[in-house]
C-alpha cells in the first residue's frame, strides 16, 4: 500500500512539474511578468514584454468558468466569468499598451494575447494564413452538421461559395417586409389600444420578434403572434415552440454531452426541441426537392437549397447534413444576437430621453414626407436609426472576443499610452483574442466612450475600431440581414411608442450612474446577454 501511494505521489509530482514547466514556457513566449493581481500591472518591464495576470485556472477554459461561478473571489485563481464584458478597456489602460497577455495553469498551461489595437487587429484579421481560426473552440457549433462558422481552409471556401448567394437583395427585402408585418401585427393584434405596455424584461418582446423574423426570412415558415398552435402529425411540438426552446437554450445543447441532456425535465425538453427542429428541416428539404412545381422563395433556406446543386463531376456540392448545419448556424447568429442588441437599444433610448426624442423627430419627419408605410427602398433614409443600432453595438457587442492563433512565428506592433509603440513576438501556436469591448471603449478611437452618443456615427468614425461583425473575409455574412431587421424594429417601435425605464420602489433615489449600471447589466453566456431590462412602452 505504501509503495502504491508513493508511486501515485511521484506521478502527481511529475505532472505538476511538467505543468509548471509548460506554464513557464508559455509565459516566457509572450514576455515574463511576475504574478500580479488584477489592475496591478506596471510598465517597469522591458518594452517587448506584455503585462497581464497569471492565474491558476485559465479563464478561456469553460469548466474553469463554471468553477469560478461557484467560488467567491480568490486572488490568482481566475477571472470572473464575464470579465471581458465588465472590464472594458481598464486592463489595457493599466498596462499602458493595447496588448496584454493572460496566462493560466490548468487545465492546459497556455498564454493568450488580447488585442485592443485597431491596426494590429486588422493585420491579424486580414492575414488568414498567419492567423487562422482555432477550430477546436468552434467544434461544439456543429451539433446539426458542419457549417461555415466551424470550418477553415478549403472547406470554409466551399461553404462560403454555397451560402453567400442566400444573402441576396431579395432576401434582404423579405426581411424588411416581414419585419414590418410582424411589428404591425404586434401593435394591432397584441398590444392593441393599451396606452402603455409594461415589461419586466425587454427580451420578452425582442426575442419573439427576432424568432418570427428568422422563422420566415430564414426558414420560409411564417409565424405570427397567435398562429402555429396545433402540433402537426408526426411531431410532438410545433415549429414555433421547437425553434423558440432550442434557440433560447442553445448553450445547453452545445455544452452538455448527449447523456446529460436526459438528466432533467428541462434538458429533456431542450433535447426534444433539437430533434423536432431537425425533423422539420429534413421535411423542408424533402418537400422542396420533391415538389412538382418549384415555388420561388427568397428565404435563406431556399437560397441554400438552390445553391446546393449537383456538382458537374457527379458529386454533391453540399450534403443534407451540411445544408441543415448551415441553416442552423444562421438561426444561431440571427436570433439571439438580434434580440439582445434590440433589448440594449431600447434600454439606452430609455436612459437617454433626449437621444430618443431626436430619433423620433427624424423618423416622424421622414414619415410625413413619405405619407405612407416605409418600404425597403426607404430604409437608408433612417440614418439615425442605424446610428442608434451602431452605437448599441459599440457599447454592447454581441461577441466580446474573437479568437485566432498564430500558425507561424511572427510579431505584432501595438500603440502605447505614451504615444510610442511596442513590437512583441508571437510564437507559433500562440492564442490571440480580439478584445472587442476594449477596442470599442479605447479612448484613442472613441471620444467619451462610456456615453451613449449615436451622432458619432453620422460623422467620420474609425471603421477599423468597430468590430461587432468581425473583420476581414471572415466578417459576418448576415450583416445586411441583421441591420435591415434591426432598423425596421427600432424605427417602427419609436414611431408608435415612447420607451421609459420601469419605475420600481426599491430603486427610488438611485443616481443615473446606478440606474445605467443596473439596467444595462449583462453576463457573458453564449453571447453578451442582458440581465434584466424593465421597460414601459407608452403609446404616442
Residues of each annotated binding site for heme: 476
Cis status, amide bond into 377, omega within 30 of 0: no
Residue 228 backbone zone (phi > 0: left; psi -120 to 50: alpha; other: beta): left
Q: How far apart are CA 223 and CA 61, in angstroms?
A: 38
Q: Which helix (H) or strand (E) holds 472?
A: none
Instruction: Note whether 10 and 65 are within 8 A (CB).
Output: no
CA distances from 376 to 224, 244, 308, 393 (A): 21, 27, 28, 22
The burial of 340, by beta-carbon neighbours within 10 Å (0-12 exposed, 13-18 middle, 19 or more buried), is given as buried
For every residue of 384-444, DSSP letters joined together read HHHHHHHHHHHHS-S-SEEEEE-SSSEEEEEEBTTS-EEEEEE-TT-EEEEEHHHHHT-TT
CB neighbourhood size of 321 (10 A): 15
**Gyration radius from the chain CA atoms:** 25
Rounded Cα distance between 315 and 106, Å, is 45
Question: Each residue of 180-216: b (16+ CB within 10 Å) or e?
Answer: bebbeebbeeebeeeeebebebbbebbbbbbbbbbbb
CB 478 within 8 A of CB 304: no
Closest by CA to 221, choosing from 297, 278, 273, is 297
Contact 432, 110 (CB under 8 A): no
155-157-163-165 Cα dihedral, nearest 10 degrees: -160
Q: Are strands 99-106 and 54-57 parallel, antiparallel or unpaired?
A: parallel
Known binding residues are 476
Amino acid at each position: 500500500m505504501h509503495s502504491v501511494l508513493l508511486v501515485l505521489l511521484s506521478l502527481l509530482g511529475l505532472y505538476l512539474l511538467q505543468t509548471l514547466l509548460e506554464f513557464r514556457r508559455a509565459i516566457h513566449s509572450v514576455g515574463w511578468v511576475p504574478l500580479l493581481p488584477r489592475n496591478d500591472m506596471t510598465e517597469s518591464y522591458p518594452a517587448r514584454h506584455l503585462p497581464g495576470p497569471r492565474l491558476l485556472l485559465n479563464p478561456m477554459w469553460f469548466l474553469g468558468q463554471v468553477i469560478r461561478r461557484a467560488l467567491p473571489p480568490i486572488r490568482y485563481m481566475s477571472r470572473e466569468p464575464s470579465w471581458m464584458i465588465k472590464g472594458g478597456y481598464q486592463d489595457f489602460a493599466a498596462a499602458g499598451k493595447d496588448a496584454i497577455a493572460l496566462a493560466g495553469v490548468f487545465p492546459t498551461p497556455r498564454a493568450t494575447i488580447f488585442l485592443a489595437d485597431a491596426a494590429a487587429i486588422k493585420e491579424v484579421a486580414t492575414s488568414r494564413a498567419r492567423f487562422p481560426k482555432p477550430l477546436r473552440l468552434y467544434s461544439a457549433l456543429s451539433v446539426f452538421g458542419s457549417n461555415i462558422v466551424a470550418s477553415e481552409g478549403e472547406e470554409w471556401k466551399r461553404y462560403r461559395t454555397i451560402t453567400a448567394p442566400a444573402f441576396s437583395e431579395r432576401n434582404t427585402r423579405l426581411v424588411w417586409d416581414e419585419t414590418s408585418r410582424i411589428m404591425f401585427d404586434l401593435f394591432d393584434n397584441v398590444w392593441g389600444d393599451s396606452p402603455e405596455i409594461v415589461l419586466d424584461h425587454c427580451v420578452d418582446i425582442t426575442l419573439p420578434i427576432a424568432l418570427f423574423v428568422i422563422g420566415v426570412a430564414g426558414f420560409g415558415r411564417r409565424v405570427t403572434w397567435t398562429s402555429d398552435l396545433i402540433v402537426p402529425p408526426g411531431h410532438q411540438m410545433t415549429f414555433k415552440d421547437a425553434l423558440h426552446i432550442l434557440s433560447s437554450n442553445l448553450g445547453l445543447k452545445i455544452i452538455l454531452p448527449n447523456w446529460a441532456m436526459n438528466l432533467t425535465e428541462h434538458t429533456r425538453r431542450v433535447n426534444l426541441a433539437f430533434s423536432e427542429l431537425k425533423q422539420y428541416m429534413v421535411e423542408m428539404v424533402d418537400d422542396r426537392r420533391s415538389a412538382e412545381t418549384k415555388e420561388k422563395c427568397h428565404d435563406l433556406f431556399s437560397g441554400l437549397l438552390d445553391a446546393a446543386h449537383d456538382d458537374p463531376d457527379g458529386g454533391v456540392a453540399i450534403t443534407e447534413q451540411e445544408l441543415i448545419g448551415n441553416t442552423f448556424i444562421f438561426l444561431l447568429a440571427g436570433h439571439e444576437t438580434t434580440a439582445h442588441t434590440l433589448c440594449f437599444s431600447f434600454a439606452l433610448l430609455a436612459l437617454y430621453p433626449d437621444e430618443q426624442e431626436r430619433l423620433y423627430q427624424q423618423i416622424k419627419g421622414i414619415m410625413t414626407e413619405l405619407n405612407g408605410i416605409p418600404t425597403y427602398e426607404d430604409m437608408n433614409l433612417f440614418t439615425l436609426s442605424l446610428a442608434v443600432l451602431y452605437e448599441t453595438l459599440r457599447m454592447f457587442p454581441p461577441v466580446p472576443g474573437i479568437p485566432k492563433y498564430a500558425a507561424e512565428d511572427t510579431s505584432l506592433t501595438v500603440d502605447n499610452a505614451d504615444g510610442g509603440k511596442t513590437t512583441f513576438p508571437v510564437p507559433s501556436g500562440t492564442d490571440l483574442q480580439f478584445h472587442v469591448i476594449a477596442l470599442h471603449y479605447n479612448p484613442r478611437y472613441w471620444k467619451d466612450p462610456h456615453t451613449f452618443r449615436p451622432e458619432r456615427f453620422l460623422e467620420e468614425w474609425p471603421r477599423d475600431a468597430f468590430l461587432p461583425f468581425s473583420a476581414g473575409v471572415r466578417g459576418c455574412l448576415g450583416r445586411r440581414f441583421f441591420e435591415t431587421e434591426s432598423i425596421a424594429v427600432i424605427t417602427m417601435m419609436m414611431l408608435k411608442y415612447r420607451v421609459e425605464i420601469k419605475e420600481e420602489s426599491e430603486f427610488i433615489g438611485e443616481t443615473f450612474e446606478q440606474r445605467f449600471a443596473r439596467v444595462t447589466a449583462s453576463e457573458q453566456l453564449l453571447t453578451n446577454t442582458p440581465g434584466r431590462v424593465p421597460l414601459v412602452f407608452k403609446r404616442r
